[in-house]
Amino acid sequence: MSIRVGVVGLGYWGPNLARNFDRLPGAELRWICDQSQEARERWAPSFPDARVSGDLDELLEDPELDAVVVATHVPTHAPLATRVLGAGKHCFVEKPLAQSVAEAEQVVAAARKSGRVLMVGHLLEYHPGVEKLKSIAESGELGDIYYLYSNRLNLGKLRPDENALWSLGAHDVSVLLHLAGGEEPSDCQAFGESYMQPGIEDVVFCYLRFPSGLAAHLHLSWLDPHKERRFTVVGSKRMATFDDMEIERKVTVYDKGFDQKFESYGEYVTRSGDIWSPHISNEEPLRIECRHFIERVADGGEPRSGGESGLRVVRVLEALQRSLEGSSRAAPV
């Protein structure tokens, strides 16, 4: 039998989720919901088989609804997800899980209490390119991973209730933790500036260190001439990139690094060898993510980006936010 899903929030992103759940085998889009009449009128014709509502409670009262997808703006994530789980429905909530660790913990506790599936929409964890990068890193092909950095830049959509750290950085932190294989950073720093809206950083630079020695840098910006969505991993043997702006060469491995010269002990020479790009499936990552949710609802398993995983992302984002706000972080010149 199909898993019956309701999607709440029909702004920019929610209709993409509704489209995927509408088309997925094993899922049925039973409800679409938005408090804005304009959004309801705009999207109802695209999903003629779904019921339409302006009130989440109407969905929660439907005994035949299995799961609710929360795609509303970020401050509402934790309260709405808690309500969904409290009503005994499975919950997919868009990233980030919450705006604070305290709120994220409440949602995770609500999921535990209800025994329902909680999954956070950390889309890149389902991207075949990220999967490939992770498997290359784990195979030892790159050697020891020294450091990685990400660039998420655009002349982008300014959000009134979220800075670039929380809006863009939620993606990079989730991938970073995914690639770090469960290790969490020991310390982090963030610097940022608010050029367009007072008090809302549109440009943020982050630096994180892990107990294993791994270091990471994130450059997040809505105020940039370039559109970049790229991760670079630098290892002791090779280097690799995941570049989501590339059509065909999403992942590239560079046989570049330093070799030790045996004749003269202690000297290093640079090596600049082959560059190759493995094949990456072009299945839409959002479809893979939605299918993963339906499968976990069906088998009751823990999703890849489940509540605990979403909580770890929020913990790192909150630590970075504290650093961003701290005044004693920089040395005077």
Ligand X SMILES: NC(=O)c1ccc[n+]([C@@H]2O[C@H](COP(=O)([O-])OP(=O)(O)OC[C@H]3O[C@@H](n4cnc5c(N)ncnc54)[C@H](O)[C@@H]3O)[C@@H](O)[C@H]2O)c1
The binding site for ligand X (CB under 6 A) comprises 8-14, 33-36, 39, 56, 71-74, 76, 80, 94-95, 121, 123
**Token pair recorded at residue 40:** 């309801």
* Residue among 15 and 185 whose Cβ is closer to ligand X: 15
Distance in angstroms (rounded) separating the CA atoms of residues 94 and 121: 4
- Give the nearest distance from C-beta 281 to ligand X in angstroms: 18
Q: Which is nearer to ligand X, 60 or 101 (CB)?
A: 60
**Shortest reach from residue 34's CB to ligand X, in Å:** 4
The neighbouring-strand residues paired with 221 are 153, 203
Which residue's CB comes closest to ligand X? 11
> Could you tell me the smallest distance in angstroms from the CB atom of residue 159 to ligand X?
8
Q: Which two tokens stand for residue 197?
A: 């809206």
Q: Which of 302, 244, 290, 306 is nearest to 126 (CA)?
A: 290
CB of 180 to ligand X, least distance (A): 20
Tokens 């035949």, residue located = 64
What stretches of 159-267 adopt beta strand conformation (E)? 187-193, 203-209, 215-221, 223-235, 239-243, 251-260
Of 156 and 278, which CB lies nearer to ligand X in the complex structure? 156
To ligand X, the closest distance from the beta carbon of 24 in angstroms equals: 17
Nearer to ligand X, 65 or 123 (CB): 123
Distance CA 241, CA 254 (A): 8
Q: For ligand X, which is the closer residue by CB, 201 or 207?
A: 201
Contact 158, 196 (CB under 8 A): yes
Q: Residue length, the chain?
A: 333
